[in-house]
Amino acid sequence: MSIKTARAEGVAEVLIDYEACIACGLCARVCKGAPLYMENGKVQIDQSCYFGCIACGQCVAVCPQHCITVTGRDFTLDDVLQMPTREERATYAQLQSLMLGRRSVRDFKDKPVVREYIDQIVSAAATAPMGLPPSDVQILIFDGKDKVAALSNDLLDWMQSIQWIVSPVMRAIMRPFVGKETGEVFDTFLAPALDAFLKKRAENIDWLTYSAPLAMYFYTSAYADPVDPLIVATYAMLAAESLGLGSCMLGTPAYCFKYSKKLRRKYGMPNVSQQGILVIFGHPAVTYRRALRRRLGGVQFY
Ligand SMILES: Cc1cc2nc3c(=O)[nH]c(=O)nc-3n(C[C@H](O)[C@H](O)[C@H](O)COP(=O)(O)O)c2cc1C
Q: What is the pLDDT of residues 114-136, one digit of tens each?
A: 999 999 999 999 999 999 999 99
Q: Which of 103, 250, 294 has the most ligand 1 atoms within 8 A of CB, as the residue to mutate?
A: 250
Residue 27: predicted pLDDT: 98
Pocket test residue of 156, 206, 247, 248 for ligand 1, highest count of atoms within 8 A of CB: 248
* CATH class of the structural domain 13-79: alpha beta
Which atom, in ligand 1's list, is nearest to the CA of 230?
A: 1
**pLDDT (mean) for 57-78:** 97
Judge: domain 91-289, CATH 3.40.920.10.
Answer: no
Q: What would the pLDDT profile of 68-105 be if each residue is shown by its tens digit?
A: 999 999 999 999 999 999 999 999 999 999 999 999 99
Is the distance from the beta carbon of residue 101 to the nearest atom of ligand 1 less than 6 Å?
Answer: no
Which residues are CB-contacts of 202 (< 8 A; sequence separation ≥ 6)?
A: none
Where are the CATH 3.30.70.20 domain residues in the chain? 13-79
Comma-separated ranges of CATH 3.40.109.10 domains in the chain = 91-289
Return the pLDDT at 54.
Answer: 95
The CA 217 to ligand 1 mean position distance, Å, reads 15
Residue 106 CB–ligand 1 contact under 6 Å? yes
Residue owning the nearest CA to atom 9 of ligand 1? 250
Q: How far apart are CA 265 and CA 256, in angstroms?
A: 12
- What is the average pLDDT score of the chain? 95
Report how far residue 213's alpha carbon sits from residue 203's, in angstroms, rounded to the nearest whole number.
20
Which percentage of the chain shows pLDDT scores above 90? 87
Nearest to 166 by CA among 152, 187, 145: 187
Question: How far, in Å, CA of 280 to CA of 287, rounded?
Answer: 17
Residue 250 in contact with ligand 1 by CB distance below 6 A: yes
